[in-house]
Amino acid sequence: MQVLKGKAVADQIYTTLEVESATVHDLLRRPPCLAVLLVGDDPASASYVASKQRACERLGIDHRDYHLPADTTEAALLARIEALNTDDQVDGILVQLPLPEQINEETIIGAIKAAKDVDGFHPYNVGSLLIGMPTFVSCTPLGILAMLDYYEIATSGKHVVIIGRSNIVGKPLAALLMQKGRDATVTVAHSRTNDLASLTRSADILIVAIGRAGFVTADMVGEGAIVIDVGINRVADASTKRGYRIVGDVAYEEVAPKCKAITPVPGGVGVMTIAMLMHNTIASAKRTDN
Ligand code: GUN
């Protein structure tokens, strides 16, 4: 059984991105620039935003951070986005999700200029991906592909089962894997799927992005499967300093012995998401339509 660690993959990507960031800096006579908008005080979101800032600093990417109060109106957030859309010093705009309930997520995502949508959530970018002309692609799916490539895991002709149909992971990942060149046969399962365990047992590659701690148990995994765990769940743990620990969507201890390869949590897919966000930000800075 092979443990597919994310750090080695991310380190390799960061090495390439350091050079690219410096090249773009020379070309533009300014660093690439990412605007990050956080509304409210969700602790997990705040911690993701802090990691994004650290990654920018590692690569010499400028970051503009907007921490708005939890009662920010949709109109106020839209006005902020519009100002960033038209600011030619800003290459990428990211609005951390989830948003407070008074703000409609679709409205906000649709308001971000597609050419600055480094999250790849805008309908234009999602549609482009679906027809095989990807522009900005959602970062976690991109990170998963980068891991498969690094560990030389071929997907051609393989049955890939994805558990979870989110716009951020499940749907874009399915679109990427079914594309020519990746050539996987993809099944997207979700909370309403009948007899989930017999479906997931038939997977050559099982990718789990459902957001439930320990959801996938040993009986759901075939011998010799490759398991990619996208879950990042906080579970209470009084023995830790923070009072919680991070676990994946897969019950790792019981599932790992059955696998040919598996990603750990933490230490697996997690670090890849931000690496690919940096990739998208530098790619955006290289574009001339901003
Ligand atoms: N919330 C959870 N994942 C993501 C992500 O990839 N991007 C943004 N903007 N918010 C998120």
Cα–Cα distance list, 86 to 30, 33, 105 (Å): 17, 14, 21
Query: Relative to the CA of 140, which ligand 1 atom is closest?
Result: 6
* pLDDT in the model for residue 288: 72
- Contact 94 CB / ligand 1 (< 6 Å): yes
Element (H, E) at 271: helix 270-286
- Contact 39 CB / ligand 1 (< 6 Å): no
pLDDT tens-digit readout, 228-278: 999 999 999 999 999 999 999 999 999 999 999 999 999 999 999 999 999
For the chain (290 residues), the mean pLDDT of every run of 10, in chain order, is 98 98 97 98 95 98 98 98 98 98 98 98 98 95 98 98 98 98 98 96 98 98 98 96 96 98 98 98 88
- For ligand 1, mutation pick of 36, 38, 39, 48 (most atoms within 8 Å of CB): 48
* pLDDT in the model for residue 290: 67
In the residue annotation, 119 being an active-site residue is answered as yes
CB count within 10 Å of CB 97 equals: 16
Query: Relative to the CA of 168, which ligand 1 atom is closest?
Result: 6
Cis peptide before 31 (omega within 30 of 0): no
Output the residue whose Cα is nearest ligand 1's atom 3: 97
- End-to-end, the C-alpha distance of the chain in Å comes to 46
- Contact 96 CB / ligand 1 (< 6 Å): yes
Q: Which two tokens stand for residue 5?
A: 């660690």
Query: Relative to the CA of 139, which ligand 1 atom is closest?
Result: 6
Q: Which residue in 62, 117, 119, 249 is the catalytic one?
A: 119
Q: Is 143 helix (H, G, I), strand (E, B) or coil?
A: helix
* pLDDT in the model for residue 158: 98
Q: Which two tokens stand for residue 111?
A: 């308001």
* pLDDT in the model for residue 188: 98
**pTM summary value:** 0.96
Which residue carries 């599932």 as its tokens?
255
- Cα–ligand 1 centroid distance for 286 (angstroms): 23
Helix axes of 139-150 and 6-28: crossing angle, nearest 10 degrees: 120
Query: Relative to the CA of 97, which ligand 1 atom is closest?
Result: 10
Q: Which two tokens stand for residue 25?
A: 């800096």
Output the residue whose Cα is nearest ligand 1's atom 1: 97
